[in-house]
Structure 1
Amino acid sequence: MSTARRRPVDAAEAPPDWDAAQDALADAAVRLALERSGEAGVRLRAAGIAHPETRGMAGLREVAVLAKDDLPDLQAAQPPFGGMLGVDLGVLRRIHRSPGPINDPEGQRSDYWRMAPAFRAAGFERGDVVLNTFSYHLTPGGHMMDAGLRAVGCVVVAGGVGNTSAQAAFASQVGAAGYVGTPQFLLTLLDRGRDEGIRSTFRRALVSGAPLPHDLRRLLEEGHGVSVFQAYGTADAGAIGYECEAKDGWHVAPGIVVEVLDPGTREPCEPGGPGEVVVTSANPVYPLVRFGTGDLSAFRPDACDCGRTSPRLAGFLGRTGEGVKVRGMFVHPRQLAEALVGAPGVRRYQGAVTEQDHRDILTVSIEPRGDRLPDLDELAARLREVTRLRVEVRTVEPGTIPEDATPIIDLRERSPG
C-alpha cells in the first residue's frame, strides 16, 4: 500500500454510472467508425450495423475483433494506415512507427493519448521536473508520455533511451523528482548513480512497457526510496489503465471502452477470468472498434476505495499475439525473419527472452547451414537494426531447433506487480 496522500479524483474517472458512460463511448465510437474508418466500417456492416443507433456495449458483441498482429498486413495493403485513419493525413501532428512494423498517427489534440490522468493518479504535479526515458525516435512512447506530463504541467527532461551515466547525472543536476520509463531501466539508472556517487532526486515514477514483479517494486521503493506506479497503454488506443494510490490493479482509463474476452470464444470473461484486452475508442483521428491488443489480463472482482468508479484490470498476465515485449519494445517473428531468412550460414533460428537481475535478455540461437559457420557479429547487427535492441546471438548443434519451432519463446517468470 502506498503512503502517498490521496489526490482529488477527476469527474471523468468517477462517473456515477460507469456502465452508462461506457455505453455512450461505444455508441460514439461506432458512429465515428461508420463515418471515417473504412476498415471498421466493413466489420460493423458484416455484423449488421450500418447506421449509428443507441446500442451501447451490447451492440458490439457481434462485431469481429481486429487483432493488432493484423495491422502490418493491413497497412502494407493500403498504406499508410490500412484504411483506419479518420482524418486527412496532412492534419496530423506526427506519424510514428512501432515495431511490427506498425504506423501510428498522432493528432493535434493536447494529450492525444490521454495519459494525464495516469500521472495525476501517481501524484505528479505542476512544476515537477521529470526524466522521460522512453524513445523519441520513430516509436511513439516518448511523445505519449511527454504529452501527458505537459498536460499536468510538469517540466520534461527528454532523456530517451540509453546513455545511463549521463542521464543519471543530468537528472540529479536538475533535481528531477519524477521518472518515466520501464522499471528495469529505472533500476539500472539508480544502481549506476549509486556506483558513481550520483545522488538520486527521484521521488516517484510512472513505469510502463515491461512487467513490474513484486520483488522489483520492493527493491525500487524500499531500496531506493522511489514510489512506483504503473500505467498501461498502446500507441493505437492511448491510455488503457493505471494505478491509483492503492497500487492494487489498473483502473480503466476514462475515454476508452475495455472488454476482456476469451481468446477462443470471444465471449466476455467473468471477473477474475483471464482473457484478451479488447478496446474501442471514440477517437476521431483513429476510431477503433473492438481492437484486440494481444495482451492478457482480467477484471478484478472487487471494488477500490479510492473514489474511482472504473473497474480494475489485474495487471499484465501474458500475450495472445505473436509479439513479445523486450525492454519496452515489441519484437515480432517477422522482424527476426527479415534479418535472418536467407542470411549466409543460417539454416534455422529461434529467439528466446529470459530475465537476469530484472533485465530482459533476447538471445537468438542459430542452427548453421551445412559446414558454413555464420558471422555472428553480422547477424547481431542485422537483428539490432530491425528490432532496435541489443541481441545476443549464438550457434547450436544441428537438429537442436525443430522445423516447426516457435520463432520467439518467452522464458521469463511472470508475477503481477
Structure 2
Amino acid sequence: MYYTEYETEPREKRMKRKWKGVREVLWEAEKSSGEFQSRLRDLGACVKDIKDWDDFVKIPPLRKKNIIKWQAEHGLGWFLNCEPGKLGRIYQSPGPIYDPEGVESDYWAWSEGFFAAGFRPGDLAQMTFSYHMTPAGLMLEEPLRDIGCAVIPAGPGNTEKQIEFLTQLPVTAFVGMTSYLKVIGEKAIAMGYDLENDFKLEKAYVAAEPLPESLRQDVEEMFGITVRQGYGTADVGCIAYECSELGGMHLSNYRHVEICDPATGLPLPDGEIGEVVVTPFFLDYPLVRLATGDLSSIDVSMCGCGRTARKLTGWKGRADDTAKVKGQFIYPSQAAAVFQKYPDVANWQIQVKNPDGRDVLVVLLESAIEVDQNGFAADFQASMKLKPVVEVVEPGTIPADAPKLVDERTFD
C-alpha cells in the first residue's frame, strides 16, 4: 500500500514533475527573496536563464551559516514572500536560526514516510520530540493526524512518565530517537516490566540521530517491534525515509535532492559520497539548493517495496564544522559566545562521543584556576539546548591549532 500515487510513478515522469516544482520555487524566489536575488546577482543571471538541470546546478548552494548570518543582519522577512504573521508558525533552532512554517497541509512532507513505516489510521502514537521552540514535535505530529493516528504529546524526558503512558494506554507507535527508546526500555525492565507483554508497541519511527544497525537490532529485539527511520532537517522537513525493505531511504517526492561536491557545489555521479543539497517546494519561504552539511550517496537500484524513488544510502558524516547531537546542531561559533563569559578559560574544545550507542557531549576547558563547572554547564545548556559533561584541564593540554569541535563517533 502507498500513501500517494507519486510513490510509484516512473522516474522520468517524477523528474519532470520535480522540475516543474523547482521552476515555481525559482520564479517565486527571484520575485520575493532578497537572499536569492543576491545569489542571482553574484551569478550574473536571472531565472529565465535557468532552462534545465544543467543550468540549475550552476546556482551556488545556500549554507546554513549564511542563513544564520543574514537572518541576523536582514531579518526573517528578507527570505519570505509574505508577512511573517501570515505563516503558520515560526520556530527557532540552534544557530540560532528561524524556521518558518507555511499553512499548507503536510507542509513538512512526513506523511509518506510514516505510512511506509506502517503507521495507519487508529494507531496511538507517543511523540517524544520537543514541542518547545524547535519544530520537531509539531512537524511530526501533524502528518500523523493527517493519516488518522491519535498522538500523545509526551515531549522528551521524564522517562517514568513515558513508561506510564506506554503501560496504561494502548500505545502502538513510538516517535522519537532510537537511543531514547532504548533508555525507556532499560528503565522499564529495571522497574520490573515485561516489554512485550506490558507494552502494546508495534512500531517506532525514529529520526534526529544516526541509526547503526546494532542499535536498531537491540531495540527491535527488546520490544518486539519494527524500527524505521526518517531523515530531514528543521529547515526543509522530510528529505528521505525507509520502507519495509530497508537498504536505504527513499527520497521524498516533494523535494529535489542532490549529492554534491562540498567544495564546488556541483552534483556527483550516483554512488559517490557527497553533501546532501535540497530544494523543497516551498513558495512562502523559497530555499534554493540548501546545503545540509550531511554526507551521503545515492542508490539507483529499484526497491522491492515497489516505490520507484531513488534512495539515500544513510548518513555518512558531516561536511562542515558542525555536529548533530540528540537532534540538535552544535555550532562552534554559537558555543564561542558561552565561553566568552568565562575569561579565565584559556582554550576550549567540544568533543562528541558515543559510548554504548549513546551520544555524550564533553566540553574541555583549559584553566589555571578553578571554574564553576555547574554554572558553565547551565550556561552552555541554555544556549545550545544540550547539557555537557565539563572537564577542566591544565593549560596547554589542547593544541593551539586544534579544532573547536571534534566528533569521535563511529556508526558501524
| TM-score, normalising length: structure 1 | 0.94
Name the structure 2 match of 1:128.
Answer: 123
Q: Distance in 2 between matches of 1:53 and 1:265?
A: 20
Equivalent of 1:30, from 10, 17, 26? 26
Q: CA deviation at 1:246?
A: 0.5
- Is 1:376 the counterpart of 2:373 in the alignment? yes
CA distance in 1 between counterparts of 2:189 and 2:411 reads 28
Is the CA contact (8 Å cut-off) linking 1:23 and 1:55 kept in structure 2? no
What is residue 336 of structure 2 aligned with on the other side? 337
* Aligned residue in 2 for 1:204: 203
SS at match of 1:137: coil
Aligned to 2:68: 72
> What is the match of residue 159 of structure 2?
164
Cα distance in 1, alignment partners of residues 2 and 95 from structure 2: 39
Mapped partners of 1:296, 1:116: distance in 2: 24
| Match status 1:189 vs 2:184 | yes
> 1:172: how far off?
2.2
Partner of 1:10 in structure 2? 4
Match of 1:58 among 9, 34, 54: 54
Q: Distance in 2 between matches of 1:47 and 1:68?
A: 19
Q: CA deviation at 1:48?
A: 4.6
Residues 50-81 of structure 1: CA deviation (Å, up to 9, x unaligned):
24477242231210111112221111001135
User: Is 2:393 aligned against 1:396?
Assistant: yes
Cα distance in 1 for residues equivalent to 2:363 and 2:239: 32
Report the counterpart of residue 229 of structure 2 in structure 1: 230
Contact 1:32/1:282 (<8 A) preserved? no
Equivalence map 1:278-357=2 (5 Å): 278-357=277-356
Range that drifts further, 386-395 or 26-35? 26-35
CA distance in 2, matches of 1:201, 1:49: 57
Question: Aligned match of 1:385 in 382, 396, 405?
Answer: 382
> Once superposed, what is the RMSD of the aligned Cα atoms?
1.6
Between the aligned residues of both structures, percent identity stands at 38
Q: Give the whole-Å Cα distance in 1 for the aligned partners of 2:302 and 2:85.
A: 44
2:410 corresponding residue in structure 1: 413
Structure 1 residues 59-109: Cα deviation after superposition (integer angstroms, max 9, x where no partner)? 31210111112221111001135x212221111121100011100111111
The answer to which of 118-127 and 380-389 deviates more is 380-389
Tell me how far apart the structure 1 counterparts of residues 55 and 44 of structure 2 sit (CA, whole Å): 10
Amino acid at match of 2:366: E
The one-letter code matched in structure 2 to 1:343 is Y
Cα deviations across residues 89-137 of structure 1 (Å, max 9, x unaligned)? 1111211000111001111112221111110000101111001111000
* Counterpart contact for 2:185–2:222, Cα < 8 Å: no
In the alignment, structure 2 segments of 5+ residues that lack a partner are none
Deviation at 1:342, TM superposition (A): 4.0
SS in 2 for 1:276: strand
Does the CA-based 8 Å contact 1:112-1:147 persist in structure 2? no
SS at match of 1:267: coil
SS of residue paired to 2:359 = strand
**Structure richer in helix, relative to its length:** 2
Counterpart amino acid of residue 76 in structure 1: A
Pair 1:260-2:259 in alignment = yes
Instruction: Summarize the Cα distance change of 1:357–1:52 in structure 2 as closer, same or farther, 3 Å threshold.
Output: same
Instruction: Note the C-alpha offset of 1:267.
Output: 2.3
> 1:223 and 1:177 mapped to 2: Cα distance?
15
Q: Which amino acid aligns with 2:316?
A: L
Question: Separation in 2 of the partners of 1:278 and 1:382?
Answer: 33
Structure 2: distance between partners of 1:155 and 1:14: 28
Aligned residues of 1:60 and 1:290 also touching (Cα < 8 A): no
Going from structure 1 to structure 2, the CA distance change for 1:200 and 1:311 (only over 3 Å counts) comes to: same
In structure 2, distance between residues paired with 1:105 and 1:409: 30
Q: Secondary structure at 1:205's aligned position in 2?
A: strand
Q: How many residues align?
A: 406
Report deviation, 1:21.
2.3
Alignment CA distance shift 1:51-1:175 (3 Å): same
- The one-character-per-residue Cα deviations of 1:345-383 (angstroms, maximum 9, x if unpaired) are 211110101012221000001100x4x221111111111
In 2: Cα distance, 1:269 partner to 1:51 partner: 23
Paired residues of 1:87 and 1:284 also in contact (CA < 8 A):
no
